[in-house]
Chains A and B, each alone.
Chain A
Amino acid sequence: MTRAKLSNLPTNADTAAADGRGSSVVPRLDVRNLSKVFKSQGKSLVALKDIDLQVFPREFVTLVGPSGCGKSTLLSVIAGLEAPTSGEVRVDGEVVLGPGRDRGLIFQSYTLYPWLSVAENIAFGLNLRDIPKSEKKQRVGYYLEQIGLTKFANAYPSQLSGGMKQRVAIARALVNEPEILLMDEPFGALDAQTKEQMQLFILKLWEDTHTTILSITHDIEEAVFLGERTYVMGVNPGRIRSHLRVPFAKDGDLDIKLTPEFIEVKRQLLHELREGQN
């Protein structure tokens, strides 16, 4: 197993462009100078301030931050569900002006449609378009297989566990073949064991489907285990504090979490997070 040495972890101001990958490649997702201010009852709250963030094609990027730092808000803006107050979001170089199926979003809460079966939930996005029945069936079948719920194709969401529901939600987003998959603490509500299974599952899915992923979490271990790169956010106002390349192979070996190198990266991130909180 190749395990990169833990050397000179990049911290502040080390943008993606500087790591040798971004200079020539157009980022899949490019968030530039983005700010979001909420105005309510005469008061205004700066939820996000000057956010710069890039995700490159086929990359798995994680973002950690304390509760209330604006993680969900950032994803909503990237997804186009909320307009930024200033700054812009680009996908493959084009400015994003609203929601679209190029950016699949997995919500923090369970969002399956209770009136549709598992297979129908997965097919939801395909049914919005003119796609031949046979192709629909084949694509839905592929993702049912991928998430290991072929047997539950005709079950309703109320008959599924939390982990199963999130897997269906992920399949529902991926079957649309989005340019980038955005995930908002997708495993936050799951117990430790199910969470680890889901982490392995998403890594395998990422390998198999070549998807680009931006995943939000407040679990540092998850951020390091899943992400090739990790952004750390601070609060008041919500901003990117630093950015770090994770020097481990993403080969789905859970034992890596117990190695001193891994724990060292976690420690760094943890300190970074703590400083960001005051």
Chain B
Amino acid sequence: MSEISGSSQKRYLKPSLFWNIRGDIPSWLGVCLSVVALAIPLAAWAVVSYAGWVSPMFLPTPTAVFSAGIGMFSGSDPLVRDIFASCARVLAGFVVAALVGVPVGILMGTFPTMDSLFAPIVGTVRYMPVMAFVPLIVIWVGLGEASKTTIIFLGIVLYNAIMVADAVKFIPKESIDVAYTLGADRLQVLRKVILPATFPNVLDTLRVNISGAWNFLVVAELVAAQNGLGFRIVQAQRFLQTEKVLFCIALIGLIGLIIDYSLKFISRILTPWADRSRS
């Protein structure tokens, strides 16, 4: 079709389905791409392991991982107990971090005085690795569940605060000013404008940071845990049971996926008005 390229002087932006910026794509394309993204690494894994190119200890086959997983669910020490234990720890750390981090973030975003007050702590502690605190935490709160909750809490609380504070700062000034001209006092502006305006972002922040909670779980369960998925991973590693390690990692990923989708679903129900402005 050389005559087309020869005759067309004007250059228009050609429509593109694949490289469509922030538009809608057909749902089949989305599903296809997601399936491909999962299928390719899985296929590569299957080929490499079944063909026996590497030793099973280095990379076990999918069937070995799967049957090891099934095996872990039965027996004297079933995996379900570990799943519950880990979920409970993540939940405890996450809830405390939300109860502290979100209000601090809202205060920091709303009042410059509170920002000045909290900024030095938030700014410096954020750079300190939580791992480094573990010995201190053990000394301070002992070896029980409290230490695990504390580790997860410390891991994510500052990110909650920073991300929520940012969300508050993004509220247009006019939204606040208009409330003043309608007769609102400062407390009413906080309650009736700032809180509802940041609510969708708070939900988003929590959804992002719950993945952080799972990251710190493994750190927490290094500390004298007797159960939990992180504990199982460490145990399996000690006996070079690579297939069990892989299974537990995959399980954490799956739990994370379920949590992520549930939270997205919940925020869509709680903030129906936010959908258009955010997407």
Contact = CB atoms under 8 A, between A and B. Distances in A.
Interface in A101-139: 101, 103-105, 107, 109, 111, 113-116, 124-125, 127-129
Given A100-B183, A125-B182, A105 B177 contact: yes
B274 interface: yes
Contacts of A113: 175, 193, 196-197
B188 interface: yes
A114 B271 CA distance: 10
A81 B276 contact: no
Closest 4 pairs between A and B when the two form their complex, measured CB to CB: A101-B183, A125-B182, A99-B180, A105-B181
B276 A158 contact: yes
A24 to B, nearest CB: 30
A109 B182 contact: no
B276 A101 contact: no
A101 B277 contact: no
Contacts of B175: 111, 113
A172 interface: yes
A115 B183 contact: no
A124 B177 contact: no
Nearest to B177: A81
Given A105-B178, A116-B196, 19 more contacts: A80-B180, A81-B177, A81-B181, A100-B183, A105-B177, A107-B174, A107-B178, A109-B174, A111-B172, A113-B193, A115-B196, A115-B271, A115-B273, A124-B192, A128-B183, A128-B188, A158-B277, A172-B182, A173-B181
Interface in B177-204: 177-184, 188, 192-193, 196-197, 199
Nearest to A98: B180
Residue of A79, A105, A115 most packed against chain B (CB within 10 A):
A115
Contacts of B277: 114, 158
A109 B197 CA distance: 17
B274 A104 contact: no
Residues of B in contact with A, size category: 20 to 34
A101 B196 CA distance: 22
A35 to B, nearest CB: 21
Q: Which secondary structure characterizes the binding site on chain A? A: loop
A275 B196 CA distance: 47
A176 interface: yes
Nearest to A157: B273
Interface in A172-201: 172-173, 176
A262 interface: no
A115 B178 contact: no
B160 to A, nearest CB: 21
Contacts, number: 71
Interface of A: 76, 79-81, 98-101, 103-105, 107, 109, 111, 113-116, 124-125, 127-129, 156-158, 169, 172-173, 176
Residue of B178, B181, B188, B274 most packed against chain A (CB within 10 A): B181
A176 B177 contact: no
Interface in B194-253: 196-197, 199
13 contacts: A80-B180, A81-B181, A100-B181, A104-B181, A113-B196, A124-B182, A125-B183, A128-B183, A156-B272, A158-B277, A169-B178, A172-B182, A173-B181
A105 B177 CA distance: 9
A176 B193 contact: no
A115 B182 contact: no
Instruction: Indicate the member of B183, B192, B277 with the most A CB atoms within 10 Å.
Output: B183
Contacts of A116: 196
Contacts of A157: 273
Contacts of B174: 107, 109, 111
A124 B274 CA distance: 19
Contacts of A101: 181-183
A109 to B, nearest CB: 6
Nearest to B180: A99
B268 to A, nearest CB: 14
B273 A114 contact: yes
Contacts of A125: 182-183
Contacts of B178: 105, 107, 111, 169
B273 A156 contact: yes
B180 A128 contact: no
Contacts of A103: 181
B180 to A, nearest CB: 4
A158 B273 contact: yes
B25 to A, nearest CB: 22
Nearest to B182: A125
Nearest to B195: A115
A200 B174 CA distance: 26
A176 B183 contact: yes
